[in-house]
Structure 1
Amino acid sequence: MSALPAERHRRIRTFLPGRSAASLQDAQANAPPLLDLASNDYLGLARHPALARAATACLNEEGLGAGSSRLVCGSRPIHEALERALARWLGRERVLLFPSGFQANLAAVTALADRHSLVLADRLIHHSLLVGVQASGARLQRFRHNDLTDLERRLVAARQADPGQRLLVLSESLFSMEGTSPAVEALARLCERHGALLLLDEAHALGVLGQGGRGLAWGLPAVTLVSGTFGKAFGGGGAFLASDALVGDWLLQRSGGFRFTTALAPPLAAGALAALELMESREASGQAAGPALLERARRWRDGLEAAGWPRPAGHGPILALVVGGDQEALDLQARLEGAGLLIVAIRPPTVPEGQARLRLVLREDLPPGSLHHLLKALGSPPAP
């Protein structure tokens, strides 16, 4: 094991809501407030009173943990209620809950692929999906990011080489470090045409993209399996997989990632159900959060571009401001934190070499003037 260079070394920092703290001692010393432009709490629900009430009531009634796996004695009414509500909301027949998105993605890939399969994955998919491919024993090919022409070329070649081979395509509906999205409807049609299964990770899209925040797989039955989390727009923790009845039962019967883990903590399930109910009520009243957040994202992209910075790719609430070198990104992070802005530098191997960046995340509850604050703190971009 070789030592990492200083600019590539990671460390854990502890934060209080709205404040920075390198340690508990700093937290108790009233560290200065920071504007959060780093977390994935897109709808500002993590501290919403309705979620807190639901989780607290469930905690008082059922306790903190489930105590065992769902197939032993860990299944609670709140788990079933959340699964039914999610299935209805997403237009899917079956939903299964998981303690984390990483675990759900591992379970999804290993359920759909084995050592006889070929997996075709977007070059920038999440690490959890790659670990799932490795665990499945399947052969892996990477296609260019959001490039359906490259994917189709590979699908055609795979079908010609082995007409009966199981093919699995992996992509995301909103890439967490790029802010970009594929043409999901065209992607689903392409997979259907070539008889390939499609696993779509909607972790960062749910609550924001698609009709009523249902994600980009909404209404597309050719998407075999949808992976989602409660740790982003839902404001809590945990995850789920959504599918038709056949795939859902296959997961239940064969997925070790589901069968051999303690069930999602009931208070987290209660909080997720409360978040879903909020999203549905807001959609019914014509106040869904997604369109307004996407409009804010457009204004921020326009503002950064007008200030001379490269326009961040994509259209969603994740804005990647590519800087280049690791140390340059860290220096800019420190400068912005000194100006009261929490924006984290993302470095390789999370992103490709030479593409270290600041990852800006927009939330519904950002105060007025946040964009002006950012542009003033950023100043002019460095000369190329």
Structure 2
Amino acid sequence: MKKVKIPKNRIRKLKTFSLGKKSFELVSSNSQNKKLIDLCSNDYFGLSRDKDLIKAAYEISLLEGIGSGSSRFITGSRPIHKLLETELAKWLDQEKVLLFPSGFQANIAAIQTLANRNSIVIADKLIHNSLLVGVKAAQAKLVRFSHNNLKDLEDKIIKSNPTKNSILVVVESLYSMEGSIAPLREITEICKKNSVQLLVDEAHAIGILGPEGRGLSFNCRSDITMITGTFGKAFGSGGAFIASNSEIGEYLIQTSGAFRYTTALAPSLAAGALEGLKKILENKEWGNDLLSSANLWKDVIIKNFSFPVQGDSHILSIIVGQEEKAIYLQKYLEENGFLAIAIRPPTVPAGQSRIRITIRRNLDFNLLKNFIAVLKDFK
């Protein structure tokens, strides 16, 4: 194995947490069982602890097993998989939905389905690592455009000669480190005008943003080639999916190694995701309530803290700048009972280190007041 020198300040350490008694509370196994207020989980609606989801996962495990035991092509397909795929397809108004064990895997499969060594992938500079891995796996040429910059996107498409080359544009609807929202309507128009394919990763938006939580791509779905999404965030479960038309879906089934050669999603996670979907359908106000709460947190932090705050949604970033200072702020917050992680290079550009916080449904105003009181004393 080739030895890679990692700078000391960039070495990551795994930490272990148990669930606390309160819905927003974690207990650190690394810090003498210290109770912490969780400001970094992607469990946006708190559904991972929901009793109905836990019950659904338990009951399906009794019927269909803890694990699926093999790939979907052998004995791994269970009735719960088909049911979840069918319900998601109806909800998203898509012809075909296919399940995957993880969002990382789904994104690799998506890129490999839509691109190959003869393709050009034009991607936003801030797309997730899983999408970049997918481009490498497809052996496609990668071209990057400036984040959410429509002119740069179109310039890169025209320069890549779409009349002669197979081009795939790749964006996220909501960027996980910036909290910024893609101008999808304009992006779809550019892609349609230039006859290029478009892949949208909806991981952090699905269930929350867009019409009744259907994602930011929903209103322009007819002009989008494929979307990916996960169940490990708003849905409170685990696993992921790809949604497309029937032709592309069938091509993926027949050709995608990431789909064909992996053990199918655990039945318990599929059942949990389906119950999570039911909860989202029954509580259509949750998404807007979460955004209102996030706007309040952002406004109050900006008024009381000197560092800039980014984010157009439930993901907020306090931009600290220097890596060392971001790490110091993380430690300071943890010492004062708040778990918020420092995000550093290479995840974000050098000089853009930050404390990323996620606003969730179970965070009340008293927690915000306590957080601000702690921030005010930071030096």
TM exceeding 0.5: yes
Read off the aligned partner of 1:339 and give its amino acid letter.
N
Corresponding residue of 1:82 = 84
Corresponding residue of 1:338 = 335
In structure 2, C-alpha distance between the alignment counterparts of 1:208 and 1:43, rounded to whole Å: 9
Give the secondary-structure state (helix, strand or coil) at the position aligned to 1:257.
Answer: helix
| 1:20 and 1:33 in contact (8 A); partners too | yes
Corresponding residue of 1:219 = 219
Choose which of 317, 321, 328 in structure 2 pairs with 1:320: 317
Deviation at 1:235, TM superposition (A): 0.7
Corresponding residue of 1:354 = 351
Choose which of 4, 10, 18 in structure 1 pairs with 2:6: 4
1:179-328 equivalences in 2 (<5 Å): 179-220=179-220, 221-283=222-284, 288-328=285-325
Deviation at 1:246, TM superposition (A): 1.1
Read off the aligned partner of 2:151 and give its amino acid letter.
T
| 1:206 and 1:213 in contact (8 A); partners too | yes
Give the secondary-structure state (helix, strand or coil) at the position aligned to 1:369.
Answer: helix
Corresponding residue of 2:98 = 96
Give the secondary-structure state (helix, strand or coil) at the position aligned to 1:133.
Answer: helix
| 2:305 and 2:376 in contact (8 A); partners too | no
Give the secondary-structure state (helix, strand or coil) at the position aligned to 1:46.
Answer: helix
Corresponding residue of 1:20 = 27
User: Where do 4+ consecutive residues of structure 1 move more than 4 Å?
Assistant: none
In structure 2, C-alpha distance between the alignment counterparts of 1:174 and 1:380, rounded to whole Å: 32
In structure 2, C-alpha distance between the alignment counterparts of 1:83 and 1:223, rounded to whole Å: 19
| 2:104 and 2:130 in contact (8 A); partners too | yes
Corresponding residue of 2:45 = 43
In structure 2, C-alpha distance between the alignment counterparts of 1:49 and 1:226, rounded to whole Å: 30
Which shows bigger deviation, 37-46 or 314-323?
Answer: 314-323
In structure 1, C-alpha distance between the alignment counterparts of 2:35 and 2:9, rounded to whole Å: 26
Partner deviation per Cα, 1:233-279 (whole Å, 9 max, x = no partner): 11111000011111111111111110111100000000000000111
Partner deviation per Cα, 1:264-309 (whole Å, 9 max, x = no partner): 00000000000001111122xxxx2111111111111111111143
Corresponding residue of 2:22 = none
In structure 1, C-alpha distance between the alignment counterparts of 2:172 and 2:299, rounded to whole Å: 25
Read off the aligned partner of 1:55 and give its amino acid letter.
A
Deviation at 1:379, TM superposition (A): 1.4
Corresponding residue of 2:140 = 138
In structure 2, C-alpha distance between the alignment counterparts of 1:381 and 1:342, rounded to whole Å: 15
TM-score of the pair, normalised by structure 1 = 0.94
Corresponding residue of 2:171 = 171
Q: What is the aligned residue count?
A: 371
Deviation at 1:360, TM superposition (A): 0.5
1:112-151 equivalences in 2 (<5 Å): 112-151=114-153
In structure 2, C-alpha distance between the alignment counterparts of 1:101 and 1:170, rounded to whole Å: 15
| 2:201 and 2:227 in contact (8 A); partners too | yes
In structure 1, C-alpha distance between the alignment counterparts of 2:52 and 2:164, rounded to whole Å: 50
Deviation at 1:178, TM superposition (A): 0.6
In structure 2, C-alpha distance between the alignment counterparts of 1:260 and 1:254, rounded to whole Å: 10
In structure 1, C-alpha distance between the alignment counterparts of 2:199 and 2:377, rounded to whole Å: 41
Q: Percent identity?
A: 46
Tell me how large the CA RMSD over aligned residues is. 1.3
Corresponding residue of 1:157 = 159
| 1:101 and 1:238 in contact (8 A); partners too | yes
Partner deviation per Cα, 1:68-111 (whole Å, 9 max, x = no partner): 11111110000000000000111111000000000000000011
In structure 1, C-alpha distance between the alignment counterparts of 2:263 and 2:97, rounded to whole Å: 17
Deviation at 1:322, TM superposition (A): 1.1
Which shows bigger deviation, 362-371 or 229-238?
Answer: 362-371
C-alpha spacing 1:368/1:301, structure 2 compared with 1 (3 Å): closer
| 1:94 and 1:242 in contact (8 A); partners too | yes
TM-score of the pair, normalised by structure 2 = 0.95
Read off the aligned partner of 1:316 and give its amino acid letter.
S
Structure 2 unmatched runs, 5+: 20-24
